[in-house]
Structures are given as structure tokens and as C-alpha cells.
Amino acid sequence: LLERAEALVLDWIEDHPPDHAGDARHGMAWDDHATALRARHWLSFWEAWVRSPLATPDELVSVLGAIAAHARKLADPAFYTLRHNHGIDQDLT
């Protein structure tokens, strides 16, 4: 199960690099709701994965960088969705 989660996370990062979060080609991947939900789930993944033998140093840097990019995006007041259920998920993250 953890191996599959790792494959999905690494594939997503490859397809939607954090430094392209503002790029229109990746718009829905980095929308308010998806970003909040993914960040919350990736934090749970991180807790198990970082302690596993699966995590290589290069992958650790990649995943942690992507989690940090999610945090920066969610911390941006202009990105927050006020008075909407997406904002609730942003708050929970």
C-alpha cells in the first residue's frame, strides 16, 4: 500500500512540478480545493513514508519540496476561498 502511495505521489510531482503551480497548464491540479485536500493526505503519507526504507534522499527532497509548495500556496491570502466549502478544507490543512 505504501509503495503504491509513493508511486502516485512521485508521479503527481513529476507531472505537476511545484515550480509550475501558477502555470495555466496545471491550473486544476493546483486549484484551491485540490491543493488543500492533497496537502492533508500527503502529510499523512509523509508520516509513514519518511520512516520507511522506501524513501531515498532524492525522493525525500522532492516530496518535502512539494509539500512546502502546497503550504506556501495555502498560506497565500489571495489563494484563500472565503465563504466556501473549499475554504473550510483550506482551514483544516
Q: What is the pLDDT of residues 44-61, one digit of tens each?
A: 999 999 999 999 999 999
* Dihedral angle sign, alpha carbons of residues 50, 53, 54, 55: positive
85/28: higher pLDDT: 28
State residue 59's pLDDT score: 97
The cell numbers describing 71, all together, are 503550504
Global pTM? 0.83
**Residues 6+ away with beta carbon under 8 Å from 15:** 29
Task: Between 69 and 92, name the one with better pLDDT.
Answer: 69
Instruction: Answer yes or no: is pLDDT of 22 > 70.
Output: no
Coil, helix or strand at residue 11: helix
Neighbours of 15 (CB within 10 A): 10
- pLDDT of 66 > 70? The answer is yes
